A = this chain, B = another copy of it.
């Protein structure tokens, strides 16, 4: 897919991880490590190993030819191993006979994918750390910043912006922890030979496998997993959940950025979100990219899960479908993480506007509080009924709730002046907001 088709869907760093050169090199790395492990096990001559290593430079391979060969063969491994063998043969015919010794196509393809996912993890982790750090600071800074609660996008009793941010942080921490663990479990060698028994290596299969895993910095699984894709499935699912959590944060921020709300704004920055004709406006571009990821990833996850139903020792279709799906998922997730890190680090917040938006509801959002104050004396039901009339009056007269209550004897006789004065002070109706905020910020992502 052209770079321009997917520019909104991947960061440059993650595009590079899944570049042609990067893929070819990961496969070549497998082949070199295999030869070395087999040399140590006394199977392949040391000289052949050196020859193979000398030929294993991705930049010297013909990508368009590999691509064509891949389409015909149904896997990149076949044309790549053939091309590597040719390169080795040009220098040393005997050494060429040892290329890919005992391995099957899926061994090299899967292990290369795992190596790319390892690099992916490093990049995404870094951005998630940035994001968590920024959200933690932002939450602390705004622990006393009051704003409207909003349920079904209607005004509700107040919250703090610090609590809202801590809510995002809590979800990101939990989702990150799951993603870390899923990436860790997936950092695992694939090596099984034609039918997954390493029969070609006779009794030395297990020794070579462990040596090969060590060589590549991967764990060695109890057995090959050619048609058991649950570890990769967990990984893509963890990306799905993470992207969902990032999408929720992006949705909230894009709603706060609405012209009519104007409580927060993305940092903008070079080439981002500005408008030459409306210079003070900022479009929610980072939010849009994150929401775009959150739209795309669920279906991609479904595509991966449905491809798990793979036949016997090598699948017809399921396996061949995986690469674009998994690459799209991790790239989208990484784009969302990087975007939200950028946003969290540079978010403009307008506490004054938040307070104005509360004020403009004219206290209707404190009706619940009035009931709380009256219920002890009157019972909740009676309090409700009494209040309804006041609320309608306030709405009709465009007065604030407390003003109307002060005018009505049934309230002014029961609520003191001080109580009425404080009725619409948002700071006084926050309940456990700060308890919850602190707990979310402190929690180690579980």
The residue of chain B having its C-beta at the shortest distance from the C-beta of A82 within the complex is: B271
CB under 8 Å from chain B, chain A span 306-335: 306-318, 320-321, 323-325, 327-328, 331
Chain B residue numbers with a CB within 8 Å of A206 are 432, 435
Q: How many residues of A contact B (CB 8 A)?
A: 194
Q: Is the CB of B157 within 8 A of A194?
A: yes
User: CA A233 – CA B175 in complex, angstroms?
Assistant: 10
- A367 at interface by CB-CB < 8 Å: yes
| Total copies of this chain within the assembly | 4
Known: A2-B20, A159-B196, A279-B392. 6 other contacts (CB 8 A): A73-B272, A158-B199, A258-B258, A258-B260, A258-B261, A296-B325
Task: Say which one of A30-38, A246-254, A402-410 lies at the interface with B.
Answer: A246-254
CB under 8 Å from chain B, chain A span 245-276: 245, 247-248, 250-252, 254-255, 257-261, 269-273, 276
User: CA A293 – CA B321 in complex, angstroms?
Assistant: 7
User: CA A364 – CA B259 in complex, angstroms?
Assistant: 11
> Top 9 closest A-B pairs, CB basis?
A291-B317, A244-B308, A149-B195, A72-B271, A299-B303, A199-B431, A151-B314, A222-B439, A223-B436
User: CA A288 – CA B288 in complex, angstroms?
Assistant: 22
The residue of chain B having its C-beta at the shortest distance from the C-beta of A24 within the complex is: B4
Query: SS class of chain A's interface: helix, strand, loop or mixed?
Result: helix
Given contacts A67-B4, A320-B8, contact A311 B251 (CB under 8 A): yes
Given contacts A67-B3, A279-B391, contact A309 B296 (CB under 8 A): no
Residue of A79, A290, A311, A369 ringed by the most chain B CB atoms within 10 A: A311
Cross-chain contact of A234 among B224, B241, B250 (Cβ < 8 A): B241
- A418 at interface by CB-CB < 8 Å: no
